[in-house]
C-alpha cells in the first residue's frame, strides 16, 4: 500500500493499470487529459501492457472503446465537456450494444462560450441513455470507484457502460492523499480477465450483434435494458461489500451521510463540493449549528430508497446543482428535479430548496456553503419557502 499525494487523473490511471485494461483510446481535452498522459507513461515504461491508440476525435474514442469491448477486451476511455458531447453518438449506442465500457469524464462546462471550469452537464446530458454514472468526491474515491466500475459493468446481469465523473480541476488536477493498494491486492478484487459475456464477437460463437429492429422488438428491448439497470443496484451493493471487505474502505454504495445523526437540515450534492461541505459543517458545528450533508455518490441508477430513507426526517433540505437545466420545472437544476421526484413518494416530505452553485467553475467556498445552510435553516424554522431556486455566488 502506497500513500501518495496525487491528482484524480493519476489515481484513475493507477486503477486502470491495476485493472489490466487491454485497449485505451486517447484524445486530448481539458481537464481529463492527465489520465491519458499518465497511462501513456505507464505503458511506455512497461508498467502494464495495453494497446494505447491515439485517435482522431472523441467520437472515434468511444467507437473504438465500444468495438474493442465487443471483441472481449477490457477498455478505458474518457473525455470532458464538449468532447463528451461530440462522442454523443457512440455514447448513446453503447448500452444498446451491451458493452461494459468504463469512461472517465472530467466534468467541464459545455461550450459555447468555451470554459474550462467544472459543470456537470456534460455527463448528465447522457443520464437517460443507460450509462451508470458515479461522482467521486476526491481522488481517493476516483480510484475506488474506477476499480469497482469494471466489476459492476462486466457482471453478466448488467453489461452496461459506466462513467466516472470527476469535477474538472478540483478532482482532476488538485492533489489529495490517496491510498493506492498493491497491484496483487487489486487483482484479488478484480481479476485481469473479464468474465465471459454473451455480447462478444469470436468465430467460435458467431452472433449477430445489434441488427436493425422495428416496433415488434423495440419496446421489449428497452425493457431488457431497464432490467439490466435495475440489476445494477443489487450488483453495485454486492461489489461495494466486497470492496469494503478487501480494502477496508469505500463506504456505502449509493449515498454517504455526513454528520446527519443529529442534523437539523442537510444539503444534498455530488462530487467535489462535498469536501467544502465537510469544512463548512465543522465550522458551523463549532458554533453550535447542527447541519449535515448527503453526498450522492451514484447518480445512475438513482438511489431512490436510500435518499428517501435519509431525507424523510428533515423539515427542509437544500439540493446543490453544479449544473443547469434551462426551462426545467421551477427553472431548477437536474439533481433538484431528481431528488424532488424521489421525495414525492414520501407521505410528509421536506421542503426542497435548489441552489445553482459553482457553475462555470466558480468555486463553491465555505462562505457560500454557509449561506446555503442559512437559507435552508430559515425555511426549516419558519416553514415558508420564499423562492424555490437560488443562484449562489452570482453577481446580482
Site string for other proteins, 8-47 (x = CB under 8 A): ------------x-xx-x----------------------
Single residue of 98, 120, 151, 295 touching other proteins by CB under 8 A: 98
- Indicate the DSSP class of residue 196: P
Single residue of 44, 128, 184, 203 touching other proteins by CB under 8 A: 203
Specify the stretch interacting with other proteins by CB under 8 A; choose among 68-76, 123-131, 170-178, 363-371.
68-76
Give 5 or 207: the residue with its C-beta nearer to other proteins: 207
For residues 264 and 350, the answer to whether their CB atoms sit within 8 Å is no
Number of residues that bind other proteins (CB under 8 A): 61
Cis ω for the linkage preceding 33 (within 30 of 0): no
Taking CB under 8 A as the rule, does residue 208 contact other proteins? Answer: yes
Give 48 or 391: the residue with its C-beta nearer to other proteins: 48
Q: Which of residues 78-97 bind other proteins (CB under 8 A)?
A: 89-90, 93, 96-97
Nearest-CA neighbor of 23 among 60, 54, 55, 50? Answer: 50
Q: Which of residues 102-121 bind other proteins (CB under 8 A)?
A: none
Site string for other proteins, 129-158 (x = CB under 8 A): ---------------------------x--
Give 214 or 348: the residue with its C-beta nearer to other proteins: 214
Single residue of 29, 50, 270, 369 touching other proteins by CB under 8 A: 50
- Residue 161 CB, shortest distance to other proteins, in Å, is 14
Instruction: Please give the Cα distance from 215 to 338 (Å, whole number).
Output: 30
For residues 253 and 297, the answer to whether their CB atoms sit within 8 Å is yes
Give 75 or 376: the residue with its C-beta nearer to other proteins: 75
Q: Which of residues 318-337 bind other proteins (CB under 8 A)?
A: none
Phi-psi region of 128 (alpha: psi -120 to 50; beta: other; left: phi over 0): alpha
Grid coordinates representing 61?
A: 474514442
- Indicate the DSSP class of residue 361: G
CA distances from 124 to 109, 233, 278, 366 (A): 11, 19, 24, 25
Phi-psi region of 242 (alpha: psi -120 to 50; beta: other; left: phi over 0): alpha
Single residue of 114, 177, 195, 198 touching other proteins by CB under 8 A: 198
For residues 103 and 62, the answer to whether their CB atoms sit within 8 Å is yes
- Residue 300 CB, shortest distance to other proteins, in Å, is 19
Site string for other proteins, 210-249 (x = CB under 8 A): xxxxx-xx-xxx-xxx-xx---------------------
Grid coordinates representing 233?
A: 443496484
Residue 93, Cβ density class (10 Å: 0-12 exposed, 13-18 middle, ≥19 buried): middle
Give 94 or 354: the residue with its C-beta nearer to other proteins: 94
Give 65 or 307: the residue with its C-beta nearer to other proteins: 65
Q: Rounded to 5 degrees, what are φ and ψ at 390?
A: -120, 140
Give 66 or 240: the residue with its C-beta nearer to other proteins: 66
Torsion of CA 59, 49, 153, 11, to 10 degrees: -90
Give 90 or 250: the residue with its C-beta nearer to other proteins: 90
Instruction: Please give the Cα distance from 244 to 237 (Å, whole number).
Output: 10
Instruction: Please give the Cα distance from 356 to 387 (Å, whole number).
Output: 13
For residues 75 and 24, the answer to whether their CB atoms sit within 8 Å is yes
Single residue of 26, 36, 64, 296 touching other proteins by CB under 8 A: 64
- Residue 127 CB, shortest distance to other proteins, in Å, is 21
Give 1 or 215: the residue with its C-beta nearer to other proteins: 215
Give 226 or 305: the residue with its C-beta nearer to other proteins: 226
Give 193 or 330: the residue with its C-beta nearer to other proteins: 193
Strand extents, DSSP E, 50-194:
51-54, 75-79, 102-107, 132-134, 162-167, 176-180
- Grid-cell match 453550535, residue found: 288
Note the residues at the interface with other proteins (CB under 8 A).
20, 22-23, 25, 49-51, 53, 55-57, 59-61, 63-73, 75, 89-90, 93, 96-98, 156, 159, 192-193, 198-199, 201-203, 205-214, 216-217, 219-221, 223-225, 227-228
Amino acid at each position: 500500500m502506497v500513500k501518495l499525494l496525487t491528482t484524480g487523473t493519476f489515481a484513475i490511471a493507477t486503477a486502470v493499470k491495476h485493472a489490466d485494461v487491454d485497449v485505451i483510446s486517447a484524445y486530448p481535452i481539458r481537464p481529463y487529459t492527465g489520465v491519458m498522459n499518465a497511462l501513456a507513461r505507464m505503458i511506455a515504461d512497461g508498467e502494464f501492457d495495453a494497446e494505447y491508440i491515439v485517435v482522431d476525435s472523441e467520437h472515434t474514442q468511444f467507437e473504438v472503446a465500444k468495438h474493442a469491448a465487443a471483441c472481449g477486451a477490457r477498455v478505458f476511455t474518457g473525455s470532458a465537456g464538449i468532447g463528451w458531447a461530440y462522442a454523443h453518438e457512440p455514447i448513446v449506442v453503447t448500452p444498446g450494444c451491451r458493452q461494459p465500457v468504463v469512461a472517465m469524464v472530467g466534468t467541464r462546462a459545455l461550450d459555447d462560450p468555451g470554459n474550462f471550469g467544472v459543470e456537470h452537464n456534460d455527463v448528465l446530458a447522457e443520464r437517460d441513455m443507460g450509462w451508470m454514472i458515479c461522482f467521486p468526491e476526491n481522488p481517493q474515491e476516483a480510484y475506488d470507484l474506477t476499480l469497482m466500475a469494471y466489476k459492476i459493468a462486466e457482471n453478466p446481469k448488467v453489461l452496461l457502460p459506466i462513467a466516472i465523473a470527476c469535477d474538472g480541476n478540483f478532482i482532476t488536477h488538485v492533489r489529495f492523499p490517496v491510498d493506492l493498494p498493491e497491484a496483487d491486492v487489486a487483482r484479488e478484487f478484480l481479476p485481469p480477465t473479464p468474465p465471459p459475456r454473451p455480447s462478444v464477437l469470436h468465430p467460435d460463437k458467431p452472433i449477430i450483434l445489434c441488427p436493425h429492429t422495428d416496433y415488434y422488438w423495440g419496446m421489449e428491448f428497452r425493457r431488457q435494458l431497464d432490467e439490466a439497470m435495475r440489476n445494477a443496484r443489487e450488483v453495485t451493493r454486492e461489489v461495494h461489500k466486497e470492496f469494503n471487505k478487501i480494502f477496508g474502505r469505500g463506504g456505502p454504495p449509493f449515498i454517504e451521510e455526513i454528520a446527519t445523526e443529529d442534523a437539523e437540515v442537510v444539503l444534498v450534492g455530488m462530487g467535489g463540493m462535498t469536501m467544502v461541505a465537510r469544512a463548512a459543517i465543522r465550522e458551523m458545528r463549532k458554533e453550535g449549528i447542527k447541519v449535515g450533508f448527503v453526498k450522492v455518490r451514484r447518480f445512475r441508477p438513482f438511489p431512490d430508497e436510500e435518499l428517501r430513507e435519509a431525507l424523510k426526517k428533515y423539515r427542509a433540505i437544500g439540493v446543490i446543482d453544479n449544473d443547469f437545466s434551462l426551462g426545467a420545472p421551477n427553472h431548477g437544476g437536474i439533481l433538484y428535479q431528481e431528488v424532488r421526484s424521489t421525495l414525492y413518494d414520501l407521505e410528509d416530505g421536506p421542503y426542497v430548496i435548489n441552489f445553482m452553485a459553482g457553475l462555470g467553475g466558480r468555486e463553491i467556498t465555505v462562505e457560500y456553503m454557509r449561506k446555503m445552510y442559512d437559507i435552508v435553516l430559515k425555511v426549516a424554522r419558519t416553514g415558508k419557502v420564499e423562492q424555490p431556486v437560488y443562484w449562489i455566488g452570482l453577481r446580482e
